Structure 1
Amino acid sequence: MGFKLFSRTALITLWTLLFFSISVRSEDDCPEFECPAKDGSFADPCTCRRFYQCVEFFPYKNFCPSNLYWDDIKKLCTFKNEAVCGPVTTTPAPSTTPPPDTANTCDISACQLPYCFCSSDGTQIPGGLNKEDIPQMVMLMLDGAVNTNNFDDYKKLFRERTNPNGCKVKGTFFITHHYSKNSKVGGALREVICIRARVHPNAHIEVLKNDGHEIAVSSISDDSGLYLKNASSWIDELVGMRTLLTQQVDLGVEDILGARAPGLKPGFNDQYTAMIEYGFIWDSSVSALPLATPVWPYTLDYKIPHKCKAESCPSRQFPGLWEIPLNSHHVEGFVAGHCPYLDQCVFTNMDSDDIFEWLKEDFLRHYTTNKAPYTLAMHTNWFTYKEQVTALEKFMNYTNTLDDVYYVTATQALLWMTDPVGLDELILVDSWSCDPEEEKVDPPCVSPNQCALSHTENDISVIKYMTTCKTCPAVYPWLGNVYGKETEEKDVYPKFED
C-alpha cells in the first residue's frame, strides 16, 4: 500500500516537474514576438494560452482567461477542443462585390447639416460648438438575442436611472433571432445565451420597446460569414429581421432605423446598398482602431475619415446614411487590450475597482477631448462576471454625478447631431424631452403566447420555442420565411420609396 501510494505521488511529482520544465523551456526558447502587421490580434507562436494585440507594430501580450485558448482563425479565446492554435497563415478572402468606386474625401463646404456631416479626420464637433458647451452622450448598446437568461440583467442595468433632465436612461438593442448557441466574442468566450433555454421571448423585446429603448437589428442567423455574401443575403438578414420584429412585436418599420453587422464585420458595399434601398437611416458596424481623439458619427457621403478595424468597410459613397462608429476602448499601456466591444477586452485578475478605473480613464479620453459619443457596446457575456457588472454600475453612478452626461439611444444622438445645440438649449430638443408621468406605463403584454414550432436547418428537423404577444406563426420564422407560413415561397420585401 505504502509503495503504491509513494509511486502514485512520485509519478504526479514527475509529471508536474516535466510539465514545468517544458513550460520554462518553451518560454526561454520563445523568440521575441514581432507583429506581422501594423494592427490586429495574433497568436503567440509558443502557446495557445496567449495572444498579442499589435498597435502601430508594437505587440501587447494578453492572456486568455482560465481554461480558454486562443483561436487564430476566429481571433478569440475559446475552449481547447474548439481552438485552432496558431499562427495560422491566411490569405485575404476575395470580395464578392464588383470593383468599388473610391469615395471622395470630405468637402465641408458641400456637406452641411442636417443631411450631411463629415470632417477631415472625424474628430470635429458638429455645428462648430465648443466642447464645454455640449452634452457628453453615452450610448449603451447591447447586441444579440433578448431572452430569459439576460432580460433581468438588462432591467437592472437601466432601473431607476435618469438623465440630468429627469428622463429615463435609455439604450439601443441590436436584435438577432438566432439564440440557441454559445456567444463567442473577443478575447474571451463565456457560455451564455441559451443552450438549454428554448425560448425566444419577443415579449421581452416588447417590454424594452415599451420602456423607450431603441430596437435595431443585427441579423436573423447571426452568420459570422455574412460579410462575404452578396446584397441579396444582406436583404434576407437585415430586412428580414426588421420584418420579423414587426410581425411579432408592436413595432413598425419606421421604429427600426438602424443595423449592425454580425461581429462588427461590415459587408463591403453590398450591406450598405441593401440598407439604402430598404430605408435604413443609420449603421453601426464600423469600428475604429485606438485613437487619442475619438471620432464622431458621420454620414457616408464621403470616404470614411479613419482607418477601419475590419477590412470589409464600404469604399463607395452612400449619401445620407449615417455611420455610428465604435471607437476602440483602451487605456494607456493597453492594459486589458483594446476593443470595440467591452466584452472583447480581457479583465483577468482585475477586481471591480480596477475595471471601474479602466472604464473611467477610457471615458475621460472622450470627455476631455471632443466629447464624441461614448459607446458602451457589449454582449450578454459582460454580465456573466460579477466584477464587470459591479464595475459598470460604479461607472454609471460616477457619470450620473456629471450634469452634462446623457445616456441616449443611437437615434437620439443623431437627432441632436442634425441640429446641435448647447447645454442651455437642450430643453428645446424634443427627442430628448419626456413627461416623467407618461413614462410610467403598464406592461404591454401580460400573458404572451408560448409557441412550439417546427424548424428545419441544415436538413435537421427540430422543435423551437418562442414567446410572442401576437398569434403564434405556423412554423418557426427564419430566413426567407419571416412570416412563419407553411409555404416554400420565399419572402419578397418592398423597397423603400422616397
Structure 2
Amino acid sequence: MNKFHCKFIVFALAIASISAQSKDKEKEEYECPTNVGNGNFADPVTCRRFYQCVDGYPYLNRCPSGLYFDDIQKFCTFKDEARCGPIPITASPVTEAPIDNAQRCDPAECELPYCFCSKDGANIPKDLSAEEIPQMILLTFDGAVNHNNYDHYMKVLGGKYSNPNGCPIKGTFFISHEYSNYLQIQNLSFTGNEIAVETISSQQGLQDKGYEEWVGEMIGMREILRHFANVSNSEINGMRAPFLKPGRNTQYKVIEDFGFIYDSSIVVPPNKIPSWPYTLDYKIPHECKSGTCPTKTFPGVWEVPMNSHFVESYEGGICPYLDQCVLHNHDPDEVLEWLQEDFSRYYEQNKAPYMMAFHTNWFQIKELEQGLHKFISWATSLPDVWFVTTTQALQWITDPKRNKELTTFDAWDCRKQSSQTQRPCYIGNKCALAYKSGNITDTRYMETCRDCPNKFPWLGDSEGTGIPGRDNYIYQSKDTSPTEDSESEKRK
C-alpha cells in the first residue's frame, strides 16, 4: 500500500470520526422545550428524524422507511403530507379570562344517566365491582382516512375479530379533512364504526382562538362529513381537539351549543389507577397537562379522557397516542407484552375503558401492526372484554349492565342496530380541486360518492361551492343522553 492510499484512508477515517462526533454532539446539544412538556419534536437537521422528550430528556428517533416527521401533526407520515420542521409556534392571544367557577365533585348531587363524577375519577359507575363489569377497549384513529391506511384499518375492523356476543369489533375515527377519502369514510360508517370530528385545518394555536373559529372548524368538519360521506349529523356525537390541546371553555361551549355529546381531548397524567369518563358538571378530577382544559361547568357534556400509556419500568416512555411511545425496535411479541402490561393496569383494577389511540404511522411498521393484532386476538379470547365505539361505551356508562346481562344489551347488539349511513357506491368520483392557502395555489384530491364540488371544501365553504364565507351555522342544543339522536342543521 503506497503513501497516498495510507493518507487517504487516514483522511477518510478522520472525516468519519468527525461526522460521528458531530452527530453525537448534535444529540447532546438538543434541548427539550421547557414550557411544553412531554412530546415529539422535529429534528433541526432532517425531517427523517424527531426527538421524543420525556421528563426533559431527548430520545432521538428515526421515522420508518419512506416516512417523514410532520411538525404540525407531531408524527411520521408520507412525504407529500409532511410539513417539515422545526415550525415556530406563535402564541395567539387568549380570548377569554381564565375564570374557574367549576366546583369539585359532589356525588350526592350527580346522578346517572345525566351526570357522573368521582373525587379522583377512578370510581366505577353505580359503585359496581370490577369483577362484575366488562372491560371496554376503545380503538380510536386520528386524522385523514385514505389509501395509505384504509386497508390496515380494515384488517382490524373488517370482521376478523368478534366480541363475546358474536358482533364484529368496532372503532371510532376522529376525522380531519385534508387527504381524506370520503368514500372510504362512508364505508367505515356504514359497517358500524363511529365517525367523529377533529377539525378541518388541523391548525396550531386553535386552543386560543375564539368561538367563531371553533364553530367553523368543528361544525364545518361535521358538515363536510354529512355532505361528502353521507354521515348524518345525528350520528356524529364526539370530537377531539388537534394536538390534544382543548380550546379552554370556548371549545366546550361549541360542543354544548351544537349538540355534541362528548369530547375526547384531555390527557390524564400517568396514574397507577386510570380515570373513567366523566361529565363536566364539576371540575375535572385530575391535573390538566395541556393547561387549556375547561374551567367552567358544562352540565351533561361528557369527557372521555385519554389515560396515559406506560409500563411500570417506563420502557418506551409515556404517551396518550400509542404510536408516540418508542416501540419501534420491538418485535411483535415484545409489542404484545408491552400492551398486555399496560392493559393490566385497567383490567386488574377498576376496568376503566382502555383507549388505544393511533395515528397512521403505527400501521407503517410491520412489527407494531403485528403486535397489535396479537394483542387483539388475545384480548378477544377473554370472556369479559369488549371492543366498542366511544358512544357505545357511554351508553354502557349511563346505563351500566353486569357481565351476565350483556348478551341482551341492545346498545352493543349489532343485530338490533343499523347505521343511518347509506351503502356507499362501488366507484366514487375522484375529484382534483383547486386549493389556495395564503399566496400558494395547489391541487387537492378527494374521493366521494357525491358529485365533485367546484372547489376544495374548506373553512367557510364546507360544500366547496367556491363562495367564500358561505357557511352560517345556527346552534341547536340537544339532550345530552348518548342514547338520543339529534339534528343540528346548518341554515343558509
- Please indicate, yes or no, whether the TM-score normalized by the shorter chain is above 0.5: yes
Tell whether the 8 Å contact from 2:73 to 2:243 is kept in structure 1 after alignment: no
Which residue of structure 2 aligns with residue 151 of structure 1?
150
Q: How does 1:367-406 map to 2 (within 5 A)?
A: 367-406=347-386
Which residue of structure 1 aligns with residue 137 of structure 2?
138
State the Cα distance separating 1:93 from its structure 2 match. Answer: 6.5
CA offsets 1:412-463 (integer angstroms, 9 cap, x no match): 0000000101001113321101229989x99521121222222222132223
3-state SS of the aligned residue for 1:355? helix
Is it true that 1:253 corresponds to 2:233 in the alignment? yes
Unaligned runs of 5+ in 1: 180-199
Is it true that 1:63 corresponds to 2:63 in the alignment? no
Tell whether the 8 Å contact from 1:120 to 1:305 is kept in structure 2 after alignment: yes
Is it true that 1:166 corresponds to 2:163 in the alignment? no
Residue 40 of structure 1 aligns with an amino acid whose one-letter code is N
3-state SS of the aligned residue for 2:452? coil
Aligned length: 468
CA offsets 1:327-361 (integer angstroms, 9 cap, x no match): 00000121111000011111142221111111110
State the Cα distance separating 1:372 from its structure 2 match. Answer: 0.2
Which residue of structure 2 aligns with residue 469 of structure 1?
449
CA offsets 1:285-308 (integer angstroms, 9 cap, x no match): 111110100000000110000112
Shift in alpha-carbon separation, 1:341–1:483, aligned structure 2, 3 A: same
Tell whether the 8 Å contact from 2:316 to 2:325 is kept in structure 1 after alignment: yes
Which residue of structure 1 aligns with residue 198 of structure 2?
218
3-state SS of the aligned residue for 2:197? strand
Residue 175 of structure 2 aligns with an amino acid whose one-letter code is I
State the Cα distance separating 1:76 from its structure 2 match. Answer: 7.2
Residue 328 of structure 1 aligns with an amino acid whose one-letter code is S
Residue 104 of structure 2 aligns with an amino acid whose one-letter code is T
Is it true that 1:304 corresponds to 2:258 in the alignment? no
* Identity between Structure 1 and Structure 2 (%): 43
CA offsets 1:3-35 (integer angstroms, 9 cap, x no match): 5443332211112334456677899x99xx999
CA offsets 1:68-119 (integer angstroms, 9 cap, x no match): 999999977899x95549xx9x998652223323311001011000000000
1:234 to 214, 224, 232: 214
Is it true that 1:431 corresponds to 2:428 in the alignment? no
Shift in alpha-carbon separation, 1:242–1:50, aligned structure 2, 3 A: closer
Which residue of structure 2 aligns with residue 189 of structure 1?
none
Which residue of structure 2 aligns with residue 342 of structure 1?
322
Which residue of structure 2 aligns with residue 290 of structure 1?
270
CA offsets 1:116-174 (integer angstroms, 9 cap, x no match): 00000000000110000000000000001111111111111123211011011000001
Tell whether the 8 Å contact from 2:268 to 2:307 is kept in structure 1 after alignment: yes
Residue 372 of structure 2 aligns with an amino acid whose one-letter code is L
1:40 to 16, 38, 41: 38
State the Cα distance separating 1:236 from its structure 2 match. Answer: 0.4
Is it true that 1:492 corresponds to 2:486 in the alignment? no
Shift in alpha-carbon separation, 1:339–1:487, aligned structure 2, 3 A: same
Shift in alpha-carbon separation, 1:354–1:161, aligned structure 2, 3 A: same
Tell whether the 8 Å contact from 1:299 to 1:319 is kept in structure 2 after alignment: yes
CA offsets 1:222-279 (integer angstroms, 9 cap, x no match): 1122112111111000000001111112221101010000111101111111111111
3-state SS of the aligned residue for 1:270? helix
Shift in alpha-carbon separation, 1:217–1:368, aligned structure 2, 3 A: same
Tell whether the 8 Å contact from 2:137 to 2:355 is kept in structure 1 after alignment: yes
After TM superposition, the score normalised by the length of structure 1 is: 0.85
1:416 to 390, 393, 396: 396
Q: CA RMSD in A?
A: 3.5
Work out the CA distance in 1 between the residues paired with 2:370 and 2:319: 20
Work out the CA distance in 2 between the residues paired with 1:227 and 1:412: 28
Which residue of structure 2 aligns with residue 97 of structure 1?
96
Shift in alpha-carbon separation, 1:403–1:73, aligned structure 2, 3 A: closer
Q: How does 1:4-83 map to 2 (within 5 A)?
A: 4-19=4-19, 40=38, 52-54=53-55, 62-65=59-62, 82-83=84-85
Is it true that 1:114 corresponds to 2:94 in the alignment? no
Shift in alpha-carbon separation, 1:153–1:348, aligned structure 2, 3 A: closer
3-state SS of the aligned residue for 1:304? coil
CA offsets 1:360-394 (integer angstroms, 9 cap, x no match): 10000000010000001011111111110011011
Tell whether the 8 Å contact from 1:342 to 1:377 is kept in structure 2 after alignment: yes
State the Cα distance separating 1:497 from its structure 2 match. Answer: 4.0
Shift in alpha-carbon separation, 1:373–1:259, aligned structure 2, 3 A: same
After TM superposition, the score normalised by the length of structure 2 is: 0.86
Tell whether the 8 Å contact from 2:76 to 2:361 is kept in structure 1 after alignment: no
Which residue of structure 2 aligns with residue 244 of structure 1?
224
Is it true that 1:356 corresponds to 2:340 in the alignment? no
Greater mean alpha carbon deviation, residues 463-472 or residues 416-425? 463-472
